[in-house]
Structure 1
């Protein structure tokens, strides 16, 4: 068994090696310019590197230096956010990296925005949501990497469990429950007892936590939204969303190779919602999901592989694909106005339930043409 110091060094090197070469170079520059406290790569990048996933998002905590001056010193475009003392730097490849002054946070009102206060790197790690997101790779000004684990995140990562850092964590910020479900689904993590015991608090605070709706919208952008929604159901938080069975079905279609955007998942949620307009407003979905849903429920023809066709197969499993203008022409209808009349006639028969498949549509069209010929 390796001594703890040797194990830490090996893990630090593993995280460092998992980073892109250009990211390593940028982090070394930041650490060298950040003063005696150096810089620390924290959160998802460290977690993902330890799981063997190439980190893409860079969240860097600066214990001592002036963040705005440090961002300017990188020579890269950046935006400074004075409320939290953060700077978002645009890397040469277009990705965004966050430079964050080490802080602690207090919640004057549960569910509201936290109030930042100056803090140490350790305090900054303890303010985070889950232990697996509180790991840090500290870089000294000379560039020496050290892995920091002040919350027990390494052990939780080994056993693949998601554990909140504080007894009131989900009451202070109920959006953490949804963020946890997204993370658990993506990385196949289980829920610690401490998380499950806080679910009732999160549900109690959900109506007073505006950030929760933003997290639910982000859930629809996950690689498998149905899996994230299933985590919420399993944890006793199914009430946060309408029936999500359609999300599971869309996951299965995506696994089978279908190309499905966030709008398809949002349309499925709207279909299950008692008040689709209210849900669309809360999730800030815009108009596209509702329009996609309307098209999927219509009788208009859409080719295989389109989101309209994929959704229709789930929402109207017994519906048949209607005849198209090309089909009508092939049955002898002359081009022009007569095609539109024939399609309108077939549409009225479908809505009345008088035709149930393409063969019945063809027979009905022939009868319709015969009456027109008299």
Structure 2
């Protein structure tokens, strides 16, 4: 293990290692297992001096994280982050306050290891073991971190640690411990969701009693049978859809991952509203619930809106011909290609009695039509008329009718029915003379 750590340490530029500094926590753990860290945590005699020196040597930016406590951070041009905190008066006591033994080690510049808790042996055994039960109760977020490390590091939690995690979850549920800040839980969830085996992590959160404290809405689907295309209950299907997504799209963005997991989150409530008869409207209910869940976890507004929009659109019928495919692209361009990835993951996660190789093939062919239409027209055609030109052409006042005409014209252009301004003027005049029904207008907005 020392041989591997020294080899990894040798890859660091000499000017990176701060004078008198120690590498601690996850960075030390990764170096010891032969993995180059993405972020570095240092304890140093002079954080300001160390941060500025590193930033100047590598063209990065240094700034204070907490001026009172002397915490500094450096962002380097390659995206790597270095955090510097003051060297503690008692290094051993500092290490003994950490979460897990594999994170309670420190390395010096010579590759010498400070390891009071047997973390190096746990690394060899790929074992996740708490430093103490008190440490997990002191910061309950560490319960979520245990589930995350199981997935992202591929470690096995030892029995005593798992029992303590369950006790922390129970204490949180009973109100005996205070829940961590939503932002902190979100970061643990995103570290888990960012891994290719995220679906297993969601199941692990459920096993440990943590999912009920995180996204209780997902648990409403446990035991809700679906039948038809489905072989799993609503909860299991959502987890499987996330798995199917990541098998096919390893670089799926976080809003799409959330949408895959939550796409059917509205089914239990829709089922209850129908008296147990059907799941009609679950897509719209699911979009509302998705907004509530992600807002509670303090996701950025744009990410929340995109995930909710994907959930709300996942039941759209797929086109059966090329014209319908172009219309689908025009109306849903802002959600593509993520919406197609979600719909494919949803279908591939359903292997019930109504599902068959032929039905899955037909579904894939419909997806291919949309992809082909998107490839043919990757951007919306340039508008052929402006709102002002439509107002003048039809001699009408500004109002909703102008927007309706613009939408109809833009869709006709996307379908190839209108190709130039002259055609556009004729189209708008004909549209005004034979206005579409309210139902047709509503369909165009779906």
TM-score, normalising length: structure 2: 0.59
Q: Are the structure 2 counterparts of residues 194 and 264 from structure 1 closer, same or farther at C-alpha, using a change threshold of 3 Å?
A: same
C-alpha change, 1:74 and 1:256, in structure 2 (3 Å) is: closer
In the other structure, the counterpart of 1:102 is 87
Q: How big is the shift at 1:78?
A: 1.0
Write the distance in 2 (CA, Å) between the matches of 1:159 and 1:75. Answer: 37
Q: Deviations over 1:6-32 (max 9, x none)?
A: xxxxx33421311473x341344x12x
- For the Cα contact (< 8 Å) 1:61–1:100, is it kept in 2? yes
Per the alignment, in what secondary structure is the counterpart of residue 87 of structure 1? strand
Paired residue for 1:66?
46
Q: Is the deviation greater in 163-172 or in 46-55? A: 46-55
Does residue 204 in structure 1 map to residue 204 in structure 2? no
Structure 2 gap segments, 5+ residues each: 220-234, 267-288, 318-327, 351-358, 374-410, 419-426
Task: List alignment gaps of at least 5 residues for structure 1.
Answer: 1-10, 32-37, 104-118, 352-374
Q: Deviations along 1:132-162, whole A, 9 cap, x unmatched?
A: 11122123xxxx3301211111111122111
Judging by fraction of residues, say which structure has more helix: 2
For 1:122 and 1:255, locate their aligned partners in 2 and report how far apart those are by CA, in whole Å: 43
Distance in 1 between the 2:241 and 2:105 partners?
Answer: 35
The DSSP-based 3-state class of the residue aligned with 2:144 is helix
Partner of 1:133: 103
Residue from 196, 201, 206 that aligns with 1:228: 201
Normalised by the length of structure 1, the TM-score is: 0.69
Change (3 A) 1:133 1:258: closer
Cα distance in 2 for residues equivalent to 1:94 and 1:334: 48
- 2:376 maps to none
Name 2:396's counterpart in structure 1.
Answer: none
CA RMSD, 1 decimal? 3.8
* Aligned: 1:155 with 2:121: yes
**How many Å apart are 1:269 and its aligned residue?**
3.8
Q: Is the 8 Å Cα contact of residues 85 and 101 (structure 1) preserved in structure 2?
A: yes
The answer to whether the 8 Å contact 1:273/1:279 transfers is no
State the aligned residue count.
Answer: 306
Measured in 2, the distance between the counterparts of 1:84 and 1:298 equals 53
1:252 aligns to 2:214 (yes or no): no
Asked if the contact 1:297/1:315 (under 8 Å) is kept, the reply is no
| Conserved 8 A contact 1:259-1:307 | no
CA, structure 1 residues 346+71, in 2 after alignment: closer, same or farther (shift >3 Å)?
A: closer
Task: Indicate how the Cα distance of structure 1 residues 151 and 168 shifts in structure 2: closer, same or farther if over 3 A, else same.
Answer: same
Structure 1, residues 268-298: CA drift from partner, whole Å, max 9, x if none? Answer: 3443546333211122232221122223333
Q: Distance in 1 between matches of 2:25 and 2:345?
A: 38
The aligned counterpart of 1:55 is 37
Q: What's the CA shift string for 1:153-194, capped at 9, x where partnerless?
A: 111112211111121233222211212211110121111122
1:178 aligned to 2:144? yes
Q: Distance in 2 between matches of 1:289 and 1:50?
A: 38
Secondary structure in 1 aligned to 2:256? helix
Partners of 1:249 and 1:315 in 2: CA distance: 5
Q: Are 1:45 and 2:63 an aligned pair?
A: no
CA distance in 1, matches of 2:145, 2:264: 22
